[in-house]
Structure 1
Amino acid sequence: MDLELNDIQQELASTLSKYLRSEYDAAKREEILRSEEGISREKWQAFAEMGLLGLAVPESYGGADMTFNEVAVVAEAFGRSLVLEPFLASAVLGTNAVLLAGSEEQKQAILPGVCEGQTFLAVAMLEPNLRYAVEAPETTATAAADGGVTLSGEKNNVLGGDVADHFVVTAVENGDLGLYLVAADAEGLTRVAQRQADGLGNANLRLENTPAQRLDAADAREVLTEVIDLGNAAIMAEAVGALEASLTMTADYLKTREQFGAPIGVNQALQHRAADLYAELEYARSMALYSRLAVTSEAVGAEKDRHRDVIAAKIVVDQAARNISQESIQMHGGIGMTMEYPIGHYAKRLTVMTRTFDDADSLTAELAELGGLIEPHAADLT
């Protein structure tokens, strides 16, 4: 199995990295962060023109008909530059929800606009009282007299929900989980936009008899699980990019920050700590790759193991995110705590990543319920 990037992926990574270095440096990111919307629609349109917003979308819906492997390349580059635009929310979560659950008519109506950068999507699955229990929402769907459906309930921390034009909403209808498409300007929908600690936007939603369209999913639970697995695999790729940038920034600081007439990096204890962080980064990179293989594998039985493999990888990447971000702050000393210095922004983003779809406790408990990553065998003492 060839685990290296192919020529197309290498070209994609190189082109995007050059663009981000020149057009998305720390100063320009800060300018976007302080803007009213907190994103740059100009940059979003540039991403659309590069074909980044529909990489894994079939050509019939305006996409590039590629794979999640290319999506992971983009996510890693965006992590390196701490891109604020809702790539994860719209181009990964929302797009895959519509692709996997939507009817042909719904896909044709929504996805071309997403690929062109004209439409933002968001998935509303978290609720105030349910923590990460996304498969058992309290939001209800009720059949309307005209044959449609209306939704009532609350959703919170909807990633990308502050700018979304359409929401994919989870709700229960007659005891069954369903996925529903709701327009942002639908009657009865109230949206309260807010910013996360990492600067990305989200929103809280209240739905009061809000008109919606059922997405044509045979098994909404299975679709939702796959969408979250793809989101987790993308966020792990993004985390690797952010971790790599954090560690590079920290190593450069150790080489240039002088104390008592010499760079602090000559201190052997700091060298050992930096070496440990580099090893942890490579472990996280390997597990992010493992998750990517899990969501792209077409082997027999791969679908059964996909979720287990993704959450196992996420446990490792989350631990690396916590360790490397905290160590990077500490090795920068007081300057690492200031808003003006970039390392703190990486720490904020990495901290939020570890709690976007789940946390260490929920991941560990779920993996234990699934029997662990490796099936246990009793020792044969004979």
Structure 2
Amino acid sequence: MDLNLSDEQRLLRESAERFVAESYDADHRRRMANDPLGYSPDVWKQFAELGWLALPIPEEFGGLGGGAVEIGILMEAFGRGLVSEPYVATIVLGASLIDRCGSMAQKQASLPKIADGSLKLAFAHSERAARFDLAKVATAANKTAQGWRLAGSKIAVLDGHAADEIIVSALIHDHHGPSGRIGLFLVRATEPGLVISDYPRLGGGRACNIDLADVHLPEDALLGDGHDALPAIEWAVDRTMAALGAEAVGIMQTLLDTTLEYTKIRKQFGRPLSANQVIRHRLADMAMQVDESRSMALRAALKVDAAPVERARAASGAKAKIGKCARFVGEQSIQLHGGMGVTEELEVGAYFKRLVAFDTLFGGSAHHYGRHAQLGRTA
């Protein structure tokens, strides 16, 4: 298998890295951290102009028809700048679920707007009692004469405060299909009965909790034909973990580069730190962990359209391994910077916080080691 990037992929990587380097400096990140929105609408418009919002959307709906590898290239560049725009929520999760589950009319209504930046999405699935089990959903969708009535609550919704529409998962209660199946519903953020409580995420960006108190929806709010959406949810989350893994690689690479440069400049007893053999060994271990993580993220991206068990094992393997490597690289970077590593003035801490947040999204390393092993027994 040829793993070299194509010319188009190399251009995407170069343009993304250049844009992030020019647009995301320390001052920009501090402003976004103190901004109640958590991201820049002007930058989001630039994403649309650059074609990044259209990247994975099929060409027939105004997209570019890109795949998970291209998303990974973009996400690694985003990691270098700690990008806080709602790209994962809208594009990697939201657009993918609409493309996978939506009817032709729903795709035509939503995907072109996503591609041009006029529609932002979020995916509300996690619940307090689920503990990262995607099949556990307590939120209920009851059929009514006019459509649907939703009741329940969701937690840790990425960028839900910024979304125009939220894709909500719920157990369908009607008389036209098997009980216990999960449906996906498009809910406007301004829908009566929908209450959003947002908060800052560790490492930048925002998330929210959502309460649905007797939310009434039209019949066409249900994505697709009402078949069980759990397989599509698992596919979308595996795809997202591959993208987040690539973002983590970009963060880890930045920490490695920053630490390497610091050890060359910082002197101790008249010699740079990098002249110390023990320090060199630690830097080499960091570099090895970054390369291993990059390989695991790429493998997960290459497997997103494989058979469900193969895809899920690749995603969980990447999430578990990258989470472990990320903590090692982050801790080593802070330690090698000495006392400066824990100050707000130095951005090493901000990058490490994003890595800690990555490790908990959609389940930590321990959870995914277990999922990987369980899938291996059923393969």
Q: Name the TM-score class by shorter chain.
A: over 0.9
- Taking the TM superposition and a 5 Å limit, the aligned residue runs for 1:109-258 are 109-146=109-146, 148-174=147-173, 175-212=180-217, 213-216=221-224, 218-258=227-267
Match of residue 263, structure 1, among 268, 272, 275: 272
Aligned residue type for 2:232:
V
Q: How far apart, in 2, do the equivalents of 1:17 and 1:364 lie?
A: 32
Deviations 1:285-319 (CA, angstroms, capped at 9, x unpaired): 1111111111145xxxx344111121112211111
- 2:88 pairs with 1:88: yes
Tell me the residue number matched to 2:177: none
TM (norm. structure 1) is: 0.93
Matches for 1:1-382 after TM superposition, within 5 Å: 1-146=1-146, 148-174=147-173, 175-212=180-217, 213-216=221-224, 218-297=227-306, 302-371=307-376
Say which SS state the counterpart of residue 309 (structure 1) adopts: helix
Residues 39 and 84, structure 1, Cα contact 8 Å, conserved in 2: yes
Asked if the contact 1:68/1:296 (under 8 Å) is kept, the reply is: no
Deviates further, 261-270 or 96-105: 261-270
State the Cα distance separating 1:102 from its structure 2 match.
0.9
Deviations 1:149-195 (A, max 9, x none): 12100001101112111111111113221111111011110001111
Q: Given residue 219 of structure 1, which amino acid in structure 2 is its aligned partner?
A: D
Distance 2:121 2:17 in 1: 25
CA RMSD across the alignment: 1.5
Q: 1:164 to 1:351 in 2, by over 3 A?
A: same
- Equivalent pairs counted in the alignment come to 369
**Distance across 2 between alignment mates of 1:85 and 1:206:** 24
Residue 197 of structure 1 aligns to a residue in which SS?
Answer: coil
Task: Calculate the TM-score normalised by the size of structure 2.
Answer: 0.94
Q: 2: distance between equivalents of 1:101 and 1:340?
A: 46
Q: Partner amino acid for 2:57?
A: V
State the SS of the aligned residue for 1:130: coil
Q: Is the 8 A contact 1:161 1:203 kept in 2?
A: yes
Quick one: distance in 1 between partners of 2:91 and 2:376? 32
CA contact (8 A) 2:134 2:234 kept: no
Q: What amino acid is the match of 1:276?
A: D
Residue 105 of structure 2 aligns to which amino acid in structure 1?
E
Aligned equivalents of 1:150, 1:250: Cα separation in 2: 53
In 2, distance between residues paired with 1:104 and 1:326? 48
Judge conservation of contact 1:136–1:177 (CA < 8 Å) in 2. no
Distance 1:211 1:239 in 2: 39
What is the CA distance between 1:352 and its match in structure 2? 0.4
Gaps of 5+ in 2: 174-179
The one-letter amino acid paired with 1:249 is T
TM-aligned CA distance change 1:343 to 1:102, over 3 Å: same
User: What amino acid does structure 1 have at the position aligned with 2:6?
Assistant: N
**SS state at 2:152 partner:** strand
Unaligned stretches of 5+ residues in structure 1: 376-382
Amino acid across the alignment from 1:319: K
The C-alpha deviation readout for 1:192-230, integer Å capped at 9, x for no partner, is: 111111121111100012134111153301100000011
Give a deviation string over 1:139-158, Cα, whole Å, max 9, x none: 00011211x11210000110
C-alpha distance in structure 2 between counterparts of 1:351 and 1:372, whole Å: 30
The residue type paired with residue 154 of structure 2 is: K
C-alpha displacement at 1:372, in angstroms?
6.1
CA distance in 2, matches of 1:119, 1:99: 14
- 1:17-64 C-alpha deviation (Å, 9 max, x unpaired): 111111112222222222231100000110110000121101222211
Q: Secondary structure at the match of 1:371?
A: helix
